[in-house]
Structure 1
Amino acid sequence: MSAALLPKPQMRGLLARRMKFHLIGAFVVSMGSAVLYKFAVAEPRKQAYADFYRNYDPMKDFEAMKAAGVLESAPAKKCW
């Protein structure tokens, strides 16, 4: 008797309906992740590089490394 009271489950088109729901959800989550990564990681990193290279003097850095003895191919003192 209780079997007559329960509605029949939908079998036709069930996979297509669930697939549409999950594809839309996956698209929304992936786009949200991409936007979050862009504004939380990529833009601050780009700004940090721009700030670093704004006042960067490569010759001054080279001379400091040469004086510290980090560079073996460049002698710390002039040999000539």
Structure 2
Amino acid sequence: MQLAKPVMRGLLSKRLRFHLPLAFGLSLVAAIAFKYAVTEPRKQAYADFYKHYDAAKEFNAMKEAGVFQSVRPSGE
């Protein structure tokens, strides 16, 4: 009994016909999942933070704590 020879001609194109659309589809699904699982919540968290953020109040708190070397606290 002899084994049949493997068909090598056109093997790459035959495999690519299946794997290339699969790879594109999976990468598209991964990109969409990353967008809605990571970037959208992060953008919402930034928006919520800056909705109530007062930069002047934060600056005055850091100034009173002595964080800045070129700004004197208002108590002196």
TM-score clears 0.5: yes
| Aligned mates of 2:65, 2:36 — CA distance in 1 | 38
User: Which of the pair has more CA radius of gyration?
Assistant: 1
| Aligned mates of 1:50, 1:15 — CA distance in 2 | 49
After TM superposition, give the deviation of residue 23 of structure 1 in Å. Answer: 1.3
Point out where structure 1 has 5 or more consecutive residues left out of the alignment.
none
| Aligned mates of 2:20, 2:70 — CA distance in 1 | 57
1:6-63 Cα distance to aligned partner (Å, 9 max, x none): 5553322211011222211211121111011101100000000000000111000000
Superposed CA RMSD in Å reads: 1.7
- 1:61 and 2:50 are equivalent in the alignment: no
After TM superposition, give the deviation of residue 66 of structure 1 in Å. Answer: 0.5
- What is the percent sequence identity of the aligned residues? 54
Point out where structure 2 has 5 or more consecutive residues left out of the alignment.
none
The count of residues paired between Structure 1 and Structure 2 equals 76
TM-score by length of 1: 0.81
| Aligned mates of 1:21, 1:37 — CA distance in 2 | 25
| Aligned mates of 2:13, 2:43 — CA distance in 1 | 42
